[in-house]
Structure 1
Amino acid sequence: MVRPVAQGDLPQILDLLRWMDRDPARRVLVPDARVLEELFWEVEGGWVLANGARLEGYAALYPFWEGGALEGPLVRGAGGEALVEALVREAERRGYRVLYAFPAEANAPTRALLERCGFSALHTTYFFVTGPRELGFAPPEGVRLEHVRAVDPEVYRALYRQCEDGWSLRLSWSDAELLAHFAREDVALWIAYRDQHPVGMVELEVAPQEAEVAYIGVVPEARGSGIGRALLACAARHAFAQAGVTALRVRAHDHEKSAIELYERLGFTLEEAVVTYARELEAR
């Protein structure tokens, strides 16, 4: 039976989350809360798969890009197809054009479940991490790195397009949204210039204990010259200069071979690999 989450489900949902935490191969996108007092606010609006009084699964739905994304499915027993299809129908009712899901690469049962339900794997994203250290790479001769505090939206969009064909999210942002984003104190942007022309960039987001490289890229004609390494070193130096930051995280899609090789060569540790799945929907 698939039904909406009820207040009395919280202890069993918490048990499901802890079951997932015991094995990295079970990981999928789920709520962060691990105490009952906080969990209610994160699962409100979710759905559960119930076998009598026992919960076998949990999933939720939220807006994402031009469609929606699944939180879960987190399924411990059989019947996961019914849970996924219930969320697919709800996504179609909301008018979503596509539905995404994000299981760990090692999560073979959930990946198989999604594929049985008509989802297709798009790409794998690899997440790397390093602790405080100096990477020590200077920009190559003729290249300068500028810490941009007042971004020019058109310059940013043009560079964003050139650095990676797969990026698209920021291209839909208005000038006001871009200006507001880069005005935040927890966001920093550096652009690499060669002969006054932008050839690369790195964007850093800083939290109280960790920082993340949100985007890093170099235009195709400037790759292989050390600009990417210099941008990464610049971001790392800034991140670890912030009080309390003890980890720097980076990520790369499976087609970004040079970025993956760079992170491995620099001693970053592979922390997680997540597969992005998608299913085209028929809006109702």
Structure 2
Amino acid sequence: MNRPVAQSHLSQLAELLCWMDEAPERRSLAPEARTPEGLWWEVLAGEDEKAWVWLEAGRVQGYGALVPFWEGAALEGPIIRGGDGRALLEHLVKKARQEGFSTLYAFPEACNRQARALLEQVGFSAEHTTYFYCIQRTDLAYPVPVGYKIERAEPCDPQVYRDLYSRAEDGWSLRLHWTDEELRQHFIGSEVELFMAYTDATGEPVGMAELELDDARAEIAYIGVVPEARGKGLGRALLGAAAEWAFANPHIETLQVRAHDHEKAAQALYEHLGFKQTSTVVTYALELD
């Protein structure tokens, strides 16, 4: 049976999430916490998250949640160890419609055949695939092409950022919906750094890389160059600048990057540099209105 997550479920939910971690074929987007205390703050104390468990013989055997994402909602899970996974997923879709979300997204691991089959059974469609790569501490420095310069942007100018993002990004519009204040808050503090490439002649922004730092891991969350400046090694130089900043922090041990299925050149570059593929995630979407 489906039940909203309660404090009494948290210990078993933490155990279910650890079970999911043990094998790639079980993984989907899920809470980061793995302790009852952490889950209390992440799942129960969060005002925006709505979460449910599937109970079988009184035990937590499934989990799913709705979190705001873009103009709709993202689905955490479905994580199913036993019981009727379709019933839990249909319940989540029903709740998303009741909340008035226009689109529901899901992010299972590509090899998670159970979750992917369930999603497709209730009408989700695969949109694209994202490949994640990781590398240990290494020197990724690369010379900046003649006629350009790369600088760490501090503070972030929302309008400059938004304009560059719209010119450099071929298929994504997520950040274009952020307000000036949301963009400023995103780059405040030491967890997110922005590197921008400019032309020497005019100072026009032509590329950028976003670096996120988290304990022992750094991640390049986004990297892009405008079409007219591509093919000159500028993206490679932005990668090198972000990596150099990340590994200057003695606590950072690994750097993660990502590439979508249409970004063949980026995939080839990461593999050439020694990055190892660690995860492949398929984005699914279901239109609700």
User: Partners of 1:133 and 1:253 in 2: how far apart?
Assistant: 24
Tell me which residue corresponds to 1:253: 260
The equivalent position to 2:157 in structure 1, one of 152, 161, 174, is 152
Q: Which moved more, 1:83-92 or 1:52-61?
A: 52-61
Q: Is the 8 A contact 1:149 1:183 kept in 2?
A: no
The equivalent position to 2:60 in structure 1, one of 55, 64, 69, is 55
Q: 1:275 to 1:182 in 2, by over 3 A?
A: same
Tell me which residue corresponds to 1:225: 232
Query: Which deviations, in whole Å up to 9, do the C-alpha atoms of 1:71-112 show, x marking residues without a partner?
Result: 110012342111011111111111111111111011011101
Query: Which deviations, in whole Å up to 9, do the C-alpha atoms of 1:238-268 show, x marking residues without a partner?
Result: 1111231111111111111111111111111
Q: Is the 8 A contact 1:160 1:167 kept in 2?
A: no
Q: Which moved more, 1:180-189 or 1:223-232?
A: 180-189
User: Secondary structure of 1:189's match?
Assistant: strand
Tell me which residue corresponds to 1:17: 17
Q: 1:17 to 1:178 in 2, by over 3 A?
A: closer
Q: 1:115 to 1:204 in 2, by over 3 A?
A: same
Structure 1 residue 88 corresponds to structure 2 residue 96: no
Tell me which residue corresponds to 1:138: 143
1:184-263 alignment to 2 at 5 Å?
Answer: 184-194=189-199, 195-196=201-202, 197-263=204-270
Tell me which residue corresponds to 1:5: 5
Q: Is the 8 A contact 1:204 1:213 kept in 2?
A: yes
Q: Is the 8 A contact 2:97 2:288 kept in 1?
A: yes
Matched AA of 2:273 = L
User: Partners of 1:234 and 1:178 in 2: how far apart?
Assistant: 22
Q: Is the 8 A contact 2:216 2:252 kept in 1?
A: yes
User: Secondary structure of 1:34's match?
Assistant: coil
Structure 2: stretches of 5+ with no match in the other structure: 45-49
Q: Is the 8 A contact 1:48 1:55 kept in 2?
A: yes
Structure 1 residue 33 corresponds to structure 2 residue 16: no
User: Partners of 1:182 and 1:49 in 2: how far apart?
Assistant: 38
Q: 1:249 to 1:87 in 2, by over 3 A?
A: same
TM-score, length basis structure 2: 0.91
Query: Which deviations, in whole Å up to 9, do the C-alpha atoms of 1:153-211 show, x marking residues without a partner?
Result: 22222211111122212112222332333343322222112232322111112223221
Q: 1:11 to 1:150 in 2, by over 3 A?
A: closer
User: Partners of 1:205 and 1:18 in 2: how far apart?
Assistant: 25
Q: What percent identity do the matched residue pairs reach? A: 55
TM-score, length basis structure 1: 0.92
Q: Is the 8 A contact 2:11 2:35 kept in 1?
A: no
Tell me which residue corresponds to 2:285: 278
Matched AA of 1:36 = P
User: Secondary structure of 2:78's match?
Assistant: strand
